[in-house]
Amino acid sequence: MSILLQNALAIHSSPALCGIKASNLINMKYYDSLEKEIEELSNKYPRIGFYVLKRNINNVLVLVYRKKILENNLFKNDNKLFLEKLGYDITNINSMLNSLKIRMNYDDFPHEIGVFLGYDLEDIKSYIEGDKCLYTGYWKVYSNVEEKIELFNKYTRCKNLVLRMLNKGFPIEIFMR
């Protein structure tokens, strides 16, 4: 795995790799062997998913996710109904990811991507409706601020731990099991 991909995973996807978040996004510079590296990681670590949502000549946007956590999150009744109302094919996780990818071709960042990223559904709906934001962290928060600040702190501690481990010479793969 390239240093570029390893660093991107550590900086942007540590919470998902460590299993404390459904998924994270990586937006990084595209290079020739990137998709091959992602495929190799997918085959080697079956609990982790890598889904290319968007790609152009210069950049690639990859959703990195814990398969079981994302599946459980997407199939929560409220989340599933929300996505279905937006026209998503809710047959299975792959159909939902394909629907998201299609929507990203029409909208650079459709707001419902928050469901895939494990954001609170009420925060997503409040953002869409233009309500007053109470706090901004990993996403805009509209309720339960203290609870979400603690969650954001947990994500940051996770990222910092992964970065410290990498700096000590441990490979990112130890977090992908």
Residues of the chain with pLDDT under 50: none
Reading the block at residue 112, the tokens are 């419902």
**What residues does each domain of the chain span?**
3-170
Residue 136 has a pLDDT of: 97
Averaged pLDDT score across all residues of the chain? 95
Give residue 16's identity as a one-letter amino acid code: A
Question: Tens digit of pLDDT for each residue in 86-131?
Answer: 999 999 999 999 999 999 988 778 999 999 999 999 999 999 999 9
Q: pTM above 0.75? A: yes
3 state SS of 9: helix
Q: In which element (H, E) is residue 59 found?
A: strand 59-66
| Residues recorded for the chain | 177
CA 10 to centroid of chain Cα atoms:
13
